[in-house]
Amino acid sequence: MSKLRLGVNIDHVATVRNARGGDTPDPVRAAILAQDSGADGITAHLREDRRHIGDADIDALMDALTVPLNFEMAATDEMQKIALRHKPHAVCIVPEKREERTTEGGLEVAREENQLAHYIAPLRAAGCRVSIFIAADQRQIEAAHRIGAQVIELHTGAYCDAHAEGNFEKRDAELEKMRAMSAYAHDLGLEVHAGHGLTYDCVKPIAAFPEVMELNIGHFLIGESIFRGLQPAMAEMRRLMDEARAT
Nearer to ligand PXP, 32 or 215 (CB): 215
Residue 196 Cα distances to 50, 73, 177, 199, 228, angstroms: 19, 15, 16, 9, 21
- Residue 196's nearest CA partner among 236, 154, 168 is 154
**Residue 52: phi, psi to the nearest 5?**
-125, -85
Spell out, one character per residue from 53 to 92, where the chain touches ligand PXP: x when CB under 6 A holds, - when not: -------------------x-------------------x
Clarify whether 193 is annotated catalytic. Answer: no
Whether 52 is catalytic is no
Before 205, cis peptide (omega within 30)?
A: no
DSSP class of residue 4?
Answer: P
Cα 214 off chain centre by: 9
Using CB under 6 A as the criterion, what x/- string covers residues 137-156 for binding ligand PXP?
----------------x---
Instruction: Write down the catalytic residue from 72, 96, 153, 214.
Output: 72
41 versus 218: smaller Cβ distance to ligand PXP: 218
Q: Which is nearer to ligand PXP, 32 or 95 (CB)?
A: 95
Question: Catalytic residue at 12?
Answer: no
**From the CB of 1, what's the least distance to ligand PXP, in Å?**
22
Q: For residue 43, what are the β-bridge partners?
A: 9, 70
101 CA to centre of own chain: 16
Among 133, 145, 171, 181, binds ligand PXP (CB under 6 A): 133
- Among candidate residues 52, 155, 163, 196, the one labeled active-site is 196
In the complex, minimum distance from the CB of residue 86 to ligand PXP, in angstroms, rounded to a whole number:
18
Residues 171-210 that bind ligand PXP (CB under 6 A): 195-198
Q: Is 24 exposed, middle or buried (0-12, 13-18, 19+ CB in 10 A)?
A: exposed
- The residue among 47 and 145 lying less far from ligand PXP, judged by its C-beta, is 47
Sole binder of ligand PXP in the list 73, 83, 94, 190 (CB under 6 A): 94
* Stretch of residues binding ligand PXP (CB under 6 A), selected from 33-41, 61-69, 141-149, 212-220: 212-220
Size of the site for ligand PXP (CB under 6 A): 19
**Does position 158 bind ligand PXP by CB under 6 A?**
no
Sequence length of the chain is 247
Number of C-beta neighbours around residue 58 at 10 A:
21
Q: Which of 94, 122, 93, 99 minimizes the C-alpha distance to 51?
A: 99
Phi, psi angle pair for 153, to nearest 5°: -110, 120
Q: Which residues bind ligand PXP (CB under 6 A)?
A: 9, 11, 45, 72, 92, 94, 102-103, 133, 153, 195-198, 216-220
Active site residues: 45, 72, 196
